[in-house]
Amino acid sequence: MARKRRTRSKLPLGDQQRWRPLAQVYKALCPSTGSPHLAALDLTEAMAKPGGVRSMRRRAERVPDGANPDDYPERELLSPTFWAEQHELLSTSDTLIHPDGLVIGLRSRHGQIMTADAARGYAFFAWRPDLEKAWPTIFVAAAAPVAQEPLSLSPTESQRRKPGPRATKDWPTHVARELIRRARAGEDMPTAAQMCQFCQNTLHWQPDIRSMQKQLRRLLG
């Protein structure tokens, strides 16, 4: 059986500064649309359109035992047909199961709130330059403070301004607080992949999956 060829991406898939988590994009669109449902619909249509908003998924879990690693790339650029023919974003009020209020479902299920298999174990992102073209009043304005920073910083000052090290240092405490909140609320304990996505959504940064697994074992025993 011939293996399905994957289109090689010309975009820098590892550029975390310019890939925005879909949950963040969805939340940014909600106020302008006045409806979570419309925000999910508009974002789906933008990613489904050729020449529209490009999207990517990143594997958050390890490759299944016995599987070919080539079939599970760490980062994968998604074609518009992924959204146009197969999948769609759905809003939900069930934030206990879906904390972001967003689900990636199958179009064939006609709006049924159920995560598609292609979305399980993955985090999804949208290309920020495309978002800025599609919704300039929302995403260009949000990026403006970064663009206005002085360019002539000394190395020491530049390092102090970068948010990355601060997030790296604080993430275990951030994770511990979320586990305490879930325990008090009677919620199920999350997987390492879910907590990596939680860090991405709240800190705009995430540790690698192995570090998160080690931290959860330490906290949960």
pLDDT in tens, 75-110: 999 999 999 999 999 998 887 788 888 999 999 888
Strand partners, 127: 19
Contact 102, 89 (CB under 8 A): yes
* Rounded Cα distance, 166 and 202, in Å: 13
Q: What is the mean pLDDT of residues 103-120?
A: 86
Taking alpha carbons only, the member of 158, 169, 219, 220 closest to residue 199 is 169
Q: How far apart are CA 32 and CA 89, in angstroms?
A: 17
Instruction: Tell me the average pLDDT across 157-164.
Output: 43
Give the whole-number percent of the chain exceeding pLDDT 70.
82
Phi, psi of 184 (to 5 degrees): -65, -30
Q: What are phi and psi of 113, to 5 degrees?
A: -80, 90
pLDDT value for 150: 44
Query: Starting from the edge strand earliest in sequence, which strands make up the sheet with 122-127, in order?
Result: 19-21, 122-127, 55-59, 75-78
Output the CA torsion 129→130→136→139 (10° steps). -60
Mean pLDDT over 152-160 rounds to 44
pTM: 0.59
Q: How far is CA 45 from CA 84, 93, 109, 134, 151, in A?
A: 7, 21, 17, 11, 37
Res 76: pLDDT: 93
* Cα four-point dihedral sign 39, 110, 187, 19: negative
Q: Indicate the domain borders of the chain.
A: 19-144, 150-220
- Give tens-digit pLDDT for 167-213: 455 788 888 888 888 777 777 788 888 888 888 888 888 888 888 88
pLDDT digits (tens, 9 = 90+) for 42-62: 999 999 999 999 999 999 888
Task: List, in order, residues 6 or more apart from 5 with CB less than 8 Å away.
Answer: none
> What pLDDT score was predicted for residue 9?
58
